[in-house]
Amino acid sequence: MAPARVNAEKDAEDELELKVEKYSRGKGADLKALRDKKLKGQLAVKEKLYGQSAKVAAKAEKWLMPSEEGFLEPDNLEKTYRFPQESIVKEVDLLSSRKPFDMILPVLGPYTIEYTSNGRYMLVGGRKGHLAMMDMLNMDLIKEFQVRETVRDVAFLHNEQMYAVAQKKYPYIYNQHGAEIHCLKEHGKALKLQFLTKQFLLASINSFGQLHYQDVSTGEMIANYRTGLGRTDVMRANPYNAVIGLGHAAGKVTMWKPTSVKPLVTMLCHHGPVTALAFDRGGHLMATAGVDRKIKIWDLRKYEVVKSYAARAQSLDFSQKGLLACSNGSQVEIYRDFGGHDYRLYMKHRMMKGYQVGKVLFRPYEDILGIGHSMGLSSILAPGSGEPNFDTFIDNPMETTKQKREKEIHALLDKLPPDTIMLNPNLIATVRAPKKKEKKTKKEIEEEMEEAIEAAKNTEHKKKTKGRSKPSKRAKKKEEGVFRAKRPFLEQSKEVVGRPDKKQRIGEEVELPKALQRFAKKPQS
């Protein structure tokens, strides 16, 4: 066989191993430490299935998903952040060139936006009560209506059929036809909303600094906590572990789950109020911005700053491929990771003078950045931001009505309980490590020893013939039984109390304090 062919096969195997590692479920269960044979067999079968599914997914990615993201590539001394949108639109295909737009709505702004998980539908909320839902694939307006009161935030629920709106007094839930379904009075005056898809939980933070979790499938209020750090309108959910992150006026960022009264993590991130917060899709990176004119990128595995910029930001968002968008006044900047968390300026877009950008949000599975500002809505091209390959079992922008129904039913059947929200979700479905035996106290050992002695004294010995059941021999046997019962407890008490050390002789090896050295015996010469 030719050496070139051998090298090519080896490279292909190495590439496949890397892809298998990408789709694996982390470190497998330690089956050698298990004593339960039934559990050991069940876990062995599961680990085998996990390995097979990872190989199948890796092969499918290699052969069926050849598409790759395309970034802007400069020539010689060109800078990508100097490319205007007009020149980018001219170079892309016809379908992509129709996606950027500017919608001027100066009366009812400023506007906030939200996308569904598959990126097909967009929800628009104007501060003065304007609500609208659009199909971004066909650029159709599905529903538009006016609630005639303040709208602070909008959020889609499990799909586009229902969405929540944080209004003047309470959050409301509407269906896609604009009909009001629920009024969530227990949440109070909500400032921000986040929906946890896998747990079917709607989270809100109100003007009193109270964090609420409500199960939208059953209507039950799961948790209601006072953060104790005052009013805040900076709130984001980590897509990796469904932990809610809050940014506070004291420069702190806290992370919460519905089963804990206290925050899981409290980080001092800025020397002033936190203005924006965003989590990477992988869950290990967090971006924060503060009034101290700094944007910081944090590694949540070590809780350390990996990059810091001198810039302001009213809104932050990570794309599916790791681009970071931040807004400052009428300007939008996009940063790209060039390796090793080295985020550098990638794109820059300036709105018209006087436009104040309120929210920036990347559209899933598209190279589009949505912008909600004081004068309406805008959409710009951000090459390389979206995931080029989508899994139709998870998110399908082209799904039919039947597929939507099936997906909704499967989501309800696979709904996770609130207990599964934790900082490290890889601990779910793993075997808990055996606990080390805790040492008993002296009092507990004495009590157990007395019980064992009483049991040894009360044991009746079988009567034997030919002089072997004399009273003296029976008493001796009873004493031996009592001693055997006492022996393990005496050894345990020695371990707890410890034997007193023997007196050390004063010699050359023992160094005395200066005040006592004159009393020590001098060694004989």
| DSSP of 154-184 | EEE-SSTTEEEEEESSSEEEEETTS-EEEE-
Q: What is the mean pLDDT of the chain?
A: 87
Is residue 330, in this structure, part of any structural domain at all? Answer: yes
Residue 427 lies in a domain: no
CA distance linking residue 165 with residue 181, whole number of Å = 11
Residues 172 and 221 in one domain: yes
Q: What percent of the chain clears pLDDT 70, i.e. is strictly above it? A: 90
Query: Does residue 86 lie within any of the structural domains?
Result: no
* One-letter identity of residue 146: Q
**For 215-229, what is the mean pLDDT?**
93
* Residue 341 buriedness (CB in 10 A; 0-12 / 13-18 / 19+): middle
383-385-388 Cα angle (round to 5): 90
Q: Is residue 484 part of a domain?
A: yes
Query: Which range scores top for mean pLDDT: 6-10, 442-446, 492-496?
Result: 442-446
Residue 504 lies in a domain: yes
CA distance 183 to 201: 16
Residue 512 pLDDT > 80, yes or no? no
Q: Give the sign of the dihedral formed by CA 166, CA 168, CA 169, CA 175.
A: negative
Say which amino acid occupies 65: M
Give residue 177's domain range: 101-415
Highest averaged pLDDT of the listed ranges 121-135, 437-451, 489-503 = 121-135
504 in the same domain as 397: no
- What is the spatial distance between Cα 59 and Cα 435, in angstroms, rounded to a whole number? 40
Residues 403 and 316 in one domain: yes
Q: Are 153 and 166 in contact (CB under 8 A)?
A: yes
> Are residues 467 and 374 located together in one domain of the fold?
no
pLDDT surpassing 80 at residue 504: no
Contact 54, 18 (CB under 8 A): no
What is the model's pLDDT at position 51?
86
Q: Looking at the structure, tell me whether residues 333 and 410 fall in a common domain.
A: yes
> Could you tell me if 284 and 394 lie in one domain?
yes
- Check whether residue 21 and residue 140 sit in a common domain: no
Q: For residue 503, is pLDDT > 60? A: no
Spatial contact of 180 and 172, defined as CB atoms under 8 Å apart: yes
pLDDT (tens digit per residue) in 180-216: 999 999 999 999 999 999 999 999 999 999 999 999 9
How sure is the predictor about 507, in pLDDT bands with cuts at 50, 70 and 90? very low
**How confident is the model over 400-413, as pLDDT tens digits?**
889 999 999 999 99
In a domain, 75, yes or no: no
pLDDT of residue 476: 81
Residue 349 and residue 365 in contact, taking contact as beta carbons nearer than 8 Å: no
Same domain assignment for residues 365 and 324: yes
Element at 38 (helix H, strand E): helix 37-64
Token pair, residue 227, equals: 């953060």
pLDDT tier at 501, thresholds 50, 70, 90 = very low
Report yes or no on 437 lying in a domain. Answer: no
What's the pLDDT score for residue 231?
93
Which residues are within 8 A (CB) of 260 and not within 5 positions of it... i.e. 6 or more apart? none
Are 233 and 316 in a shared domain? yes
Residues present in the chain in total: 525
503 found inside a domain: yes
Q: What is the pLDDT of residue 506?
A: 44
How many domains would you assign to the chain?
A: 3
- Ranking 195-204, 227-236, 354-363, 501-510 by mean pLDDT, the lowest is 501-510
Q: How many helices (H) and strands (E) does the chain have?
A: 7, 28
- Whole-number Å distance between alpha carbons of 253 and 386: 28
- Supply the pLDDT for residue 10: 73
pLDDT at 468: 66
Cβ atoms of residues 327 and 357 within 8 Å: yes
Distance from C-alpha of 70 to C-alpha of 233, rounded to nearest angstrom? 35
